[in-house]
Amino acid sequence: MGELETVRVGIVGASGYGGVQLVRLIRDHPQLDLVYLGGDSSAGKPFSDLYPHLSQATDLIIESVDVDTIADRCQVVFLSLPNGLAYQMAPRLLEKGCKVLDLSADYRFSNLETYKNWYGGDRADAETAAVAVYGLPELYRDRIKDAQLVGCPGCYPTASILALAPLLKQGMIVPNSAIIDAKSGISGAGRQAKTNLLLAEADNSVAAYGVGRHRHTPEIESIGSDLAGQDILVQFTPHLMPMVRGILSTVYATLRDPGLVREDLVTIYTAFYRNSPWVRVLPAGVFPQTKWAMNSNMCYLGVEIDQRTDRAIVISAIDNLLKGQAGQAIQCLNIMMGWDETLGLPELGFYP
Amino acid sequence: MGELETVRVGIVGASGYGGVQLVRLIRDHPQLDLVYLGGDSSAGKPFSDLYPHLSQATDLIIESVDVDTIADRCQVVFLSLPNGLAYQMAPRLLEKGCKVLDLSADYRFSNLETYKNWYGGDRADAETAAVAVYGLPELYRDRIKDAQLVGCPGCYPTASILALAPLLKQGMIVPNSAIIDAKSGISGAGRQAKTNLLLAEADNSVAAYGVGRHRHTPEIESIGSDLAGQDILVQFTPHLMPMVRGILSTVYATLRDPGLVREDLVTIYTAFYRNSPWVRVLPAGVFPQTKWAMNSNMCYLGVEIDQRTDRAIVISAIDNLLKGQAGQAIQCLNIMMGWDETLGLPELGFYP
Amino acid sequence: MGELETVRVGIVGASGYGGVQLVRLIRDHPQLDLVYLGGDSSAGKPFSDLYPHLSQATDLIIESVDVDTIADRCQVVFLSLPNGLAYQMAPRLLEKGCKVLDLSADYRFSNLETYKNWYGGDRADAETAAVAVYGLPELYRDRIKDAQLVGCPGCYPTASILALAPLLKQGMIVPNSAIIDAKSGISGAGRQAKTNLLLAEADNSVAAYGVGRHRHTPEIESIGSDLAGQDILVQFTPHLMPMVRGILSTVYATLRDPGLVREDLVTIYTAFYRNSPWVRVLPAGVFPQTKWAMNSNMCYLGVEIDQRTDRAIVISAIDNLLKGQAGQAIQCLNIMMGWDETLGLPELGFYP
Amino acid sequence: MGELETVRVGIVGASGYGGVQLVRLIRDHPQLDLVYLGGDSSAGKPFSDLYPHLSQATDLIIESVDVDTIADRCQVVFLSLPNGLAYQMAPRLLEKGCKVLDLSADYRFSNLETYKNWYGGDRADAETAAVAVYGLPELYRDRIKDAQLVGCPGCYPTASILALAPLLKQGMIVPNSAIIDAKSGISGAGRQAKTNLLLAEADNSVAAYGVGRHRHTPEIESIGSDLAGQDILVQFTPHLMPMVRGILSTVYATLRDPGLVREDLVTIYTAFYRNSPWVRVLPAGVFPQTKWAMNSNMCYLGVEIDQRTDRAIVISAIDNLLKGQAGQAIQCLNIMMGWDETLGLPELGFYP
């Protein structure tokens, strides 16, 4: 084991929930050495000013963002910024030889027109976008291996695509029949002080948002179409849950072949994810709760077929900040570096 | 105002959450006088032993259940019991002249075969079941007016049917296309000491249950078929939320006529519920959160059309224990007595 | 009953949690008519823009704050503003004949030096402050009756003083021995978008704040000294709870007479609050949970004596936004108007 | 590093929350090998029937409890049973050469009379009890090193004693002046299906319990007296919080020397815990929230002096199931085996 040499990594956008997960994960990773934290709004502050209990985890000071400094210092850079900032920085970091993993939406779309339709902005980095790889290892492990730039999936798309992929890949469902009803813990909205995210407002309440127009829709459709080998549409509705972490995605799709039973689905899913250590297909009749995945990089899948309606129902549970964000980014990096995909990542949280 | 004479009511099954809502609602109702509380497991105890803070609400002692006693004492009886008990008691109560409102599933089905398929049991009260009226006033107000026996709807069916009814009644959707993804606070499971309902287990977690086989499915289908004028199937999946009260039902259905826009739906829904004081259709683009309905008998409806997928999405929010259970029972009783449908019922909870 | 004539009331600072409670309470109050909502930051917006589910409760538009307009329109004004604003407005409102109930700290101190020491600011309304009455009806009912200006108590002082008053009044405890460990739901911090109040941060966590320096300390001491007939100090530590509403105050004090048993305390407390409909002393051995008081104006008190340590332990539970704020203000107004103290106020919330 | 040989450990009482923490911790511990799970009520079931998401953590079957089997198989035994069972089993396990760590109250008292007064029962194992060591490493590290039998501290005593120890040890406070107001997550009550622990009952509510009579009182007093060198009494009141994990203990005590300032306390506490890797004293003015300690074995301490009242206020935060229970047991075992005290234990959870 190459224990002698570690890889120097930096995080741009360290103050948010994505950043703090990365700090925490990198600390426990045997091959990574955190050498840089960047962020304009908190520049000059020790990281532990933002998260006092992490003073034993790092004594780094957050620095204002400068590409040359980053590239001098880091071999690998995680960008954990609001949408629309990574594409202003990634091309130069790549040029200087850094590997880049972007946690925003900026490099999730091979087709920049789709990006612009849903996210707006005017960008001129089509060449860079063209070499970016979608960082969902269970589907694109081989491409990630050779990538210099990874666009890490959104939290909802991770949960939704892992639930749908075997059905789409094997042409088992009626195109456009997929309905994804997703439920997320509130940390998915980030560490921003907004009224609707206050405990007083959000506790003991459930609500849908972005009905018919959430920006994770085209991301799911784009990857789903790639899997299906044809353009597909999905219905995606996210809901805010009165809890901190976790996504449960309940996916409905009409089967092409009504003769299947749920044990078939267990077999098909198990085979599909045979080489994926971070997906666990549950036995027939068992459905996951998000708490099982909390503080872990695991995605749990429960499958069902309703023979009355000829629909498959697949339920996925992940931790939105780990498998749905920072954990998956580390998983991608493990693959990029030729390490074991599970290296340094938490398999189990504590229960309850 | 008939303030001189009040109606004497009793509750069988007073110790559970349905019972305690009824005690609370009856206390605030100007025309009702609570004279009897029955329950075999708590017989002999003052009600305030079970709910100490309600000692100022009632000093009644819970009595063991005896039909003659009840009929002597009460003009109206609420049965708030586990499924399978009401039908052993209701026929005799009716015979003795009581009006009966049953909160269990026993009298929700005109077709007893459906009941037996999903609930089991061997019952011989087909004649009684035939005269029972389904207690959803927004659809069956006229029948409730003359009913002696009301089978009060389940909490999920209330939220789901109110969301679907205008679409089904007006033949706007493809039959069998309706998918209902419902999210409920944990009080819907009652006051039973089960491990999975513990705060330690259920807090900060979300899970589906009864996937493809929940017993509220045939109830929704039975009323939905009545509305549609043809037999329909629905896909219904309930989820347990980490919160106390409230149901959010997210309903998806494929439109027959793709030209509609959401403003059309607002118009159609508003017209459909014009005379229903307990349903409030929200303006286009506004979707309810369950907290709005908490401690109120109101059902809030938000409607949307996704023109990319030609689907209607309707989201309903209720308090599962009020509009979804005890409040609706009082609403039915108001109608049975010829009173205003809103009498004595809470319109607004406190926020936040 | 004077049902013919209602009193016209206005609220300045309607957009916060205090404001929305008042809107809700006034709507259910048989003698009050809400005619004015003021607030500079939301001026021009319908109130229902801030709280959409309350569109059926009021169609008032929030107006920018102007004393002449308010005085023209209102007989009674509730000021629900951040500390330091009420004293700029109250003298003029009083001059124009309005009755004023202030929910901030501005008029809670007869001694303005104490106010200035803890709250800062430079104010010249000593004459007005001198006629203000502290709005805790259980202690100052007679003064409130004749008041034109009421300084409504803080939420923590309400819970704490009601727990301590009989002990202090009757000289039963060692002066300065009182320790108040208080636990509050997060709505007590108001509807402000601060990071530490986010559900993601505050849920599943407990923390103390303002240790040794919270500004409710001098308020408790000032009223406590009045009761004790001598200057006393208290130790007061507030804690933020992962919940929306409610305060539990656990009060410890060393007894002067070690011979007492808890039944004595029940007797003493019951006698002390004999004429106070909004305080309920629990039987020996029963202690309140905050949920009992939620959405109600009631204060529950549980008392204990630890004979090993010669300490009294008194535990009070209130809803911080009702008995701890807006409900108590209405209770005071009822007294000011000569109405029954309970008029229009909620006695019981819904459980669970 | 002794990586070649691991120690074989067993858990008796594996089905509860203590058991599941141990399973999880042992799995991540480099020197421990879990070889036995015992429990009479779940005997015959795979452990993963109780915690399905842990099927990848262990495939052990729970066995009925038999001392010979355990001793044959295990070098170290954790007893995670209700009070009153360990003392029926520990003497025989010790006799057969096992090291025993008991998580119940059975071996926390060197004086069995105190045990009997508070816990009842008739036990004849005084000789065994006399050699048991109280498993709080920060105070009794040297004795634990040589122990065969460790009585692991209760969760409340851990948090309370760590907060009080420097004050008591150095005679800084007035004896009997200590008041401990403790707040615990609900997992402290275990995985038992009781009505008051249901989410519907316990969420959004706070309550005290065991007021003046909780059985952790004599445990705190017994260790506190040992530290103080004289018999002391403490006032201890536990409260149930609407959250899953964590204890916050707020400790008040009157200073003997009124001249101290809080920076003195920081210095004194830092020195006292200099060699204790699992206690972290926070800078002056910083107080812990329980979330910082969640899923970690760390105890955070914040200290304050109120110069108005001459009291020290110390606030401790731990994870009740780790530093308050299973994590501390592993910490003790590390010491018993001569390993680093931190071996295999989680330092940081994930935030938020």
Work out the minimum CA distance from B16 to partner chain D, whole angstroms.
11
Mean predicted lDDT score pLDDT of chain C = 96
Determine the Cα–Cα distance for residues C293 and C300; give it in Å rounded to an integer. 7
Which residues from A are below 8 Å from C185, CB to CB? 200
Question: In Å, how far are B43, C133, C160, C213, D214 from A45, measured between CA atoms?
Answer: 65, 47, 39, 27, 45
Write down the pLDDT at residue D2: 44
Domain ranges (residues) in chain B: 7-131, 155-320
Give C170's DSSP letter.
T
Neighbouring CB atoms inside 10 A of C64's CB total 12
Q: Is the dihedral of CA B15, B21, B26, B28 positive or negative?
A: positive
Q: List the one residue out of C238, C246, C258 whose CA is nearest residue C291.
A: C246
pLDDT tens, C68-78?
Answer: 999 999 999 99
Q: What is the mean pLDDT of residues D7-27?
A: 96
User: Does residue C9 contact residue C78 with C-beta atoms inside 8 Å?
Assistant: yes
Catalytic: which of D98, D152, D155, D332? D155
Mean predicted lDDT score pLDDT of chain B = 96
User: Does residue B171 contact residue A255 with C-beta atoms inside 8 Å?
Assistant: no
Which residues from A are below 8 Å from C201, CB to CB? 191
B195 and D191 in contact by Cβ < 8 A? yes
Q: List the one residue out of D29, A32, D26 whose CA is nearest residue D37.
A: D26
A199 and C194 in contact by Cβ < 8 A? no
Is the confidence at residue D132, as pLDDT, over 70?
Answer: yes
The CATH code of domain C155-322 reads 3.30.360.10
Cross-strand partners of A100: A77, A149
**D332: annotated active-site residue:** no
Determine the Cα–Cα distance for residues C171 and C188; give it in Å rounded to an integer. 31
User: Does residue C96 contact residue C121 with C-beta atoms inside 8 Å?
Assistant: no
Neighbouring CB atoms inside 10 A of A146's CB total 10
A351 and D293 in contact by Cβ < 8 A? no
User: Does residue A138 contact residue A278 with C-beta atoms inside 8 Å?
Assistant: yes
Write down the pLDDT at residue B3: 55
Residue C2 pLDDT class (50, 70, 90 cuts): very low
The answer to whether A109 faces chain C, any CB pair under 8 Å, is no
Work out the minimum CA distance from C228 to partner chain B, whole angstroms.
31
Q: Where does C123-261 have alpha helices with state H?
A: 126-131, 137-145, 155-169, 199-202, 216-228
Work out the minimum CA distance from A270 to partner chain B, whole angstroms.
20
Rg (CA), chain A: 20
Lookup: tokens for D344: 């295999």
B244 and D17 in contact by Cβ < 8 A? no
Q: What is the mean pLDDT of residues C23-27?
A: 96
Determine the Cα–Cα distance for residues D342 and D279; give it in Å rounded to an integer. 11
D200 and B242 in contact by Cβ < 8 A? no
Is the confidence at residue D233, as pLDDT, over 80?
Answer: yes
The answer to whether D195 faces chain A, any CB pair under 8 Å, is no
The answer to whether C108 faces chain B, any CB pair under 8 Å, is no
Q: What is the mean pLDDT of residues D68-82?
A: 97
C351 and B54 in contact by Cβ < 8 A? yes
Is the confidence at residue B122, as pLDDT, over 90?
Answer: no
pLDDT tens, A146-194?
Answer: 999 999 999 999 999 999 999 999 999 999 999 999 999 999 999 999 9
Is the confidence at residue C96, as pLDDT, over 50?
Answer: yes
B233 and A200 in contact by Cβ < 8 A? no
Determine the Cα–Cα distance for residues B210 and C62; give it in Å rounded to an integer. 47
Write down the pLDDT at residue C124: 87
Neighbouring CB atoms inside 10 A of C135's CB total 28
Type of residue found at A146:
D
How many residue pairs from chains C and D have C-beta atoms closer than 8 A? Answer: 139
- Tokens 């704490």: give the residue: C160
Give C239's DSSP letter.
E
Neighbouring CB atoms inside 10 A of A212's CB total 18
Write down the pLDDT at residue D4: 58
Write down the pLDDT at residue D121: 85
Lookup: tokens for C302: 């549980």
B290 and A205 in contact by Cβ < 8 A? yes
Chains touching C (3+ CB pairs < 8 Å) = A, B, D
Write down the pLDDT at residue B124: 87
The answer to whether C41 faces chain A, any CB pair under 8 Å, is no
Q: What is the mean pLDDT of residues C230-253?
A: 98
C348 and B24 in contact by Cβ < 8 A? yes
Work out the minimum CA distance from B302 to partner chain D, whole angstroms.
27
> Which range (A122-126, A272-276, D307-311) has the least confidence?
A122-126
Mean predicted lDDT score pLDDT of chain A = 96
Residue A328 pLDDT class (50, 70, 90 cuts): very high
| DSSP E strand stretches across A225-310 | 235-240, 247-254, 279-281, 299-306
Give C105's DSSP letter.
S
Question: In Å, how far are A58, D299, D317, D349 from D345, measured between CA atoms?
Answer: 19, 13, 17, 11
Is the confidence at residue A3, as pLDDT, over 80?
Answer: no
Is the confidence at residue B1, as pLDDT, over 60?
Answer: no
Q: What is the mean pLDDT of residues D253-278?
A: 96
Is the confidence at residue A1, as pLDDT, over 70?
Answer: no
Neighbouring CB atoms inside 10 A of A37's CB total 25
Which residues from B are below 8 Å from A243, CB to CB? 203-206, 242
At the topology level, CATH places domain D7-152+325-336 in Rossmann fold (3.40.50)
Please give the CATH architecture assigned to the domain spanning A155-320.
2-Layer Sandwich (3.30)
Which residues from A are below 8 Å from B201, CB to CB? 291, 352
Q: List the one residue out of D72, C103, B210, B2 whose CA is nearest residue A306.
A: B210
Catalytic: which of A98, A155, A299, A332? A155
The CATH code of domain C7-131 reads 3.40.50.720
A206 and B294 in contact by Cβ < 8 A? no
Work out the minimum CA distance from B186 to partner chain D, whole angstroms.
6
pLDDT tens, B34-48?
Answer: 999 999 889 999 999
**Burial group, residue B37, by CB count within 10 angstroms (0-12, 13-18, 19+):** buried
Q: Is the dihedral of CA A227, A228, A230, A236 positive or negative?
A: negative
pLDDT tens, C256-298?
Answer: 998 999 999 999 999 999 999 999 999 999 999 999 999 999 9
> Kind and range of the H or E element at B80?
none
C203 and A199 in contact by Cβ < 8 A? yes
Enter the ipTM.
0.96
The answer to whether A200 faces chain D, any CB pair under 8 Å, is no
> Which of A207, A237, A289 is closest, CB to CB, to B313?
A237
Q: Maximum distance among all alpha carbons in chain C?
A: 63
Provide the terminal-to-terminal Cα distance of chain C, rounded to the nearest Å. Answer: 35
User: Does residue C247 contact residue C318 with C-beta atoms inside 8 Å?
Assistant: yes
Determine the Cα–Cα distance for residues C251 and B216; give it in Å rounded to an integer. 49
Helix (H, G, I), strand (E, B) or coil at B198: strand
Residue of B nearest to A248 (CA): B206
Phi/psi at A52 (nearest 5 deg)? -55, -35
User: Does residue C324 contact residue C297 with C-beta atoms inside 8 Å?
Assistant: no
Which residues from A are below 8 Å from B282, CB to CB? none
Residue A56 pLDDT class (50, 70, 90 cuts): confident
Neighbouring CB atoms inside 10 A of C350's CB total 25
User: Does residue B37 contact residue B15 with C-beta atoms inside 8 Å?
Assistant: no
> Which of B187, B191, B200 is closest, CB to CB, to D186?
B200
Write down the pLDDT at residue D1: 42
> Which of B288, B349, B352 is closest, CB to CB, to C187?
B352
Which residues from D are below 8 Å from B195, CB to CB? 191, 193
D200 and B193 in contact by Cβ < 8 A? no
The residues of B annotated with a catalytic role in the active site are 155
In chain A, what percentage of residues exceed pLDDT 70? Answer: 99
Helix (H, G, I), strand (E, B) or coil at B145: helix
C239 and D250 in contact by Cβ < 8 A? yes
Which residues from A are below 8 Å from C52, CB to CB? none
Which residues from C are below 8 Å from B298, CB to CB? 53
Write down the pLDDT at residue B4: 58
Which residues from C are below 8 Å from A187, CB to CB? 200
DSSP one-letter string for C267-324:
HHHHHHTTT-TTEEEPPTT---BHHHHTTS--EEEEEEEETTTTEEEEEEEE-TTIII
User: Does residue C309 contact residue D217 with C-beta atoms inside 8 Å?
Assistant: no
User: Does residue D291 contact residue D318 with C-beta atoms inside 8 Å?
Assistant: no
pLDDT tens, B83-106?
Answer: 999 999 999 999 999 999 999 999
At the topology level, CATH places domain D155-318 in Dihydrodipicolinate Reductase; domain 2 (3.30.360)
Question: In Å, how far are C106, C111, C199, D278 from C208, measured between CA atoms?
Answer: 25, 28, 17, 21
The answer to whether D46 faces chain A, any CB pair under 8 Å, is no
Which residues from A are below 8 Å from D21, CB to CB? 350
B207 and A248 in contact by Cβ < 8 A? yes
The answer to whether B211 faces chain A, any CB pair under 8 Å, is yes
Lookup: tokens for C328: 């108590």
B199 and D186 in contact by Cβ < 8 A? yes
Residue of B nearest to A306 (CA): B212
Is the confidence at residue A145, as pLDDT, over 80?
Answer: yes
User: Does residue B311 contact residue B258 with C-beta atoms inside 8 Å?
Assistant: no
The edge-to-edge listing of strands for the beta sheet with B311-318 is B207-208, B235-240, B179-184, B247-254, B311-318, B299-306, B279-281
Residue of D nearest to A57 (CA): D348
Q: Cis check for the bond before A82: say yes or no (omega within 30 of 0).
A: no
**The total number of residues written for chain C in this structure:** 352
Q: List the one residue out of D294, A42, D312 whose CA is nearest residue D302.
A: D312
Do β-strands C149-151 and A7-12 pair in parallel, antiparallel, or remain unpaired? unpaired
DSSP one-letter string for D216-245:
HHHHHHHHHHHHHTS----EEEEEE-SSSS
The answer to whether B118 faces chain C, any CB pair under 8 Å, is no
Helix (H, G, I), strand (E, B) or coil at A297: coil
Residue of D nearest to A23 (CA): D350
The answer to whether D192 faces chain A, any CB pair under 8 Å, is no
Is the confidence at residue C4, as pLDDT, over 80?
Answer: no
Lookup: tokens for C270: 């019951």
> Which of C53, C244, C295 is closest, CB to CB, to B292?
C53
- Tokens 């809901």: give the residue: A239
CA dihedral C77, C80, C82, C86 (to 10 degrees): 10
Type of residue found at B234:
V
Residue of B nearest to A195 (CA): B352
Neighbouring CB atoms inside 10 A of B237's CB total 26
- Which of C204, C308, C314, C315 best probes binding to D when mutated, by most D CB atoms within 10 angstroms? C204
Phi/psi at B304 (nearest 5 deg)? -150, 150
Long-range contacts of B232-235 (CB under 8 A, 24+ apart): B232/B168, B232/B175, B232/B176, B232/B178, B233/A308, B233/A309, B233/B176, B234/B160, B234/B164, B234/B176, B234/B178, B234/B179, B234/B180, B235/A252, B235/A306, B235/A309, B235/A311, B235/A313, B235/B178, B235/B179, B235/B180
The answer to whether B117 faces chain A, any CB pair under 8 Å, is no
Lookup: tokens for B259: 């030209």
Is the confidence at residue B225, as pLDDT, over 80?
Answer: yes
